[in-house]
Chain A
Amino acid sequence: MKRILALVAKDFAELRQSPGIFVPALLTGVGAIVYPFVIVVIIPAVTGERLSDSSDFEIAELFNRTEPAVRGLSAEGAIQAFVFQQALALLVGITTVTGGMSVAAHSVIGEKQARTLEPLLATPLRTGELLAAKVIGAAVPGVVLTILCFVAYVVLIAIFAEPRVWTALLTPRSLGLVFLIGPLAALLGLQLAVCASSRVNDPRSAQQLGAIVLIIPVGVLQVAQFAGGVVLTVPILMAIGAVLAAGNLVVLRAAVSLFDRESILIRWK
């Protein structure tokens, strides 16, 4: 554990010197925050039409009846709460993954490119410890960034949306998404990137494979949510959480056995 903490502390110290690493994830987070505001605040303000006047948002009515946090809101507020809640999945998914992957680019892969991996592997550090440190070191900043984005999201909703819409973002469903599903998804994506790294010949492929594995499901989930195909209820989130947790355990074992110190030392250029 001491060796893991030593390496995580090192990674954090390096990140403090390179805040620019987070710019892509930050921009992604800002984009994910802004786009629901465009739908529920800016377009209605520009066109002068309220969302509750449109039949396109009938699903919100259904949602309005099932979600206790939304019951006391106006029809417009309920639709806004629906959109903000649905968009939260994208915010959490994409910011956590982008944040994690941005840092991952400077972890195992970065160590190899900076020629710091070989002396590191020459220490008593075990493969599992190296992977744990690298995955934690990459996941934590992404998760912290996501939480900060979530706080900003709620504050902006409180300022710009209908009164009390922001309270609909403090439900077990939303909090579970931010504090459980997000971190578990980030860990899984990063571990998959590590697995991929032992089966490809260059670091860029490893990064891209890891990101694609998570970004595609996040995108599909978002489309399915807006199409009404999936409503992320607490039981569904719990099920997703359980699948992610189990997936993490399986992938952790696989990562330790697949991570090939030798090929990374010898093949990667």
Chain B
Amino acid sequence: MLTASHLTRRFDTRVAVDDVTFELAPGEIFALLGPNGAGKTTTLRMLAGLIAPTSGTVHVGGEPMTASASHLRGRIGFLTEAPGLWDRLTVFENLIVYARLQGVVPAQRAVNAALELFGIANRASDPTAQLSKGLKQRVALARTLLHDPAIVLLDEPTAGLDPESAHDTRALILRLRGENRTVILSTHNLDEVDRVADRVGVLRSRLIALDTPSALRSRLFGKRIVITLEGPAREYDAAVRSTGATDVTVDGDRLSIGVDGDTVIAPTLVTALVNAGARIVSVIPEERPLEEVYLRLIKDESP
């Protein structure tokens, strides 16, 4: 659906985006992570056809995105970092202009449907200057999706929103996946990424990592399981190591064990512990926070 191939963008001597390549499928949510100035917004702008890459290409549905390919911009919905609403115009007026610019027919019906869908019909005649930040973002999202785009680019969609508005936005993002749209999300909110993203790209001018969140965890920290026992875990350390496990840490009533991707070792561990007289409360795979994954990747890339 959307392919970025060796995308590079220079501003004078500074390389903002360096040789970034990825391919996204319909119904996929892809999160772009990276520190400020890492090139996330520049990448989104290149994908949206707003700025041209210095080298490399963007293809939308197999067609190359160029400055003259204005019809391709109609297949993309771009939620910019700022809502970008005309403050003096009402919510309805803001949306009707975009419906007409996008060639939506009939424009009025599409706007009314969007107002209902995003729960802002009761504010349709209010100037957008009077709206809260959350409501403005909702209007901007309605504008982004008004023309039913196959590809949705969201630049920090929940930044500065209250928890309820952020939750609603995440629910919307998940709904977009259900509608088979390709979603690219640029954000600093790692918890949000963990909840919604199918794949993650970590950008620091270059794409330093590109994979699913769980694959990134495994790659950086290995697979681990955590076994919680009734009582102190220390006395069962030997039993665990007797199974061949070498990466074992004990913390109170918890054992954290590296399993190196061997799927049979968990039952073996449980059997060994039970035979040693341990009473097991729970056995769960250890999920390292995505934040740790991200920080490790960024740290490894630091000069």
- A interface list, Cβ under 8 A from B: 2-3, 5-7, 9-10, 13-14, 17-18, 114-126, 261-262, 265-266
A-B contact count (CB 8 A): 83
Contact with A along B43-56 (1 / 0, CB 8 A): 00100111110000
A117 CA / B98 CA spacing, docked (Å): 12
A117 CA / B45 CA spacing, docked (Å): 13
Cβ contacts A to B, 29 pairs, < 8 Å: A2-B103, A3-B101, A7-B97, A9-B97, A10-B93, A13-B93, A14-B88, A14-B89, A18-B88, A114-B86, A115-B80, A117-B84, A119-B80, A119-B84, A119-B140, A120-B84, A122-B48, A123-B73, A123-B74, A123-B98, A123-B102, A124-B103, A125-B101, A261-B50, A262-B50, A262-B51, A265-B45, A265-B50, A266-B51
Interface size of B by CB at 8 A reads 32
In the complex, which of the residues A114, A119, A125, A126 has the most CB atoms of chain B within 10 Å of its own CB atom? A119
- B89 engages A265 (CB within 8 Å): no
**A103 to B: closest C-beta gap in Å:** 14
- A6 engages B76 (CB within 8 Å): no
A7 CA / B73 CA spacing, docked (Å): 17
**A202 to B: closest C-beta gap in Å:** 18
- B86 engages A2 (CB within 8 Å): no
- B86 engages A124 (CB within 8 Å): no
Closest to A3 in B: B101
Residues in B whose Cβ lies below 8 Å from that of A116 = 84-86
Residues in B whose Cβ lies below 8 Å from that of A123 = 73-74, 98, 101-102
Q: Which of B26-66 contact A (CB under 8 A)?
A: 45, 48-52
In the complex, which of the residues A17, A118, A124 has the most CB atoms of chain B within 10 Å of its own CB atom? A124
Closest to A16 in B: B88
- B82 engages A115 (CB within 8 Å): yes
- B88 engages A17 (CB within 8 Å): yes
A10 CA / B85 CA spacing, docked (Å): 12
Residues in A whose Cβ lies below 8 Å from that of B294 = none
Query: Given the known A-B contacts A124-B70, A124-B74, are A118 and B80 also in contact in the complex, defined by CB atoms under 8 Å?
Result: yes
- B102 engages A115 (CB within 8 Å): no
Tell me whether B299 is interfacial, beta carbon within 8 Å: no
**B80 to A: closest C-beta gap in Å:** 5
- B84 engages A118 (CB within 8 Å): yes
A14 CA / B129 CA spacing, docked (Å): 13
In the complex, which of the residues B11, B50, B93, B103 has the most CB atoms of chain A within 10 Å of its own CB atom? B50
Q: Which of B63-114 contact A (CB under 8 A)?
A: 67, 70-71, 73-74, 76, 78, 80, 82, 84-89, 93, 97-98, 100-103
Residues in B whose Cβ lies below 8 Å from that of A9 = 97
A262 CA / B10 CA spacing, docked (Å): 13
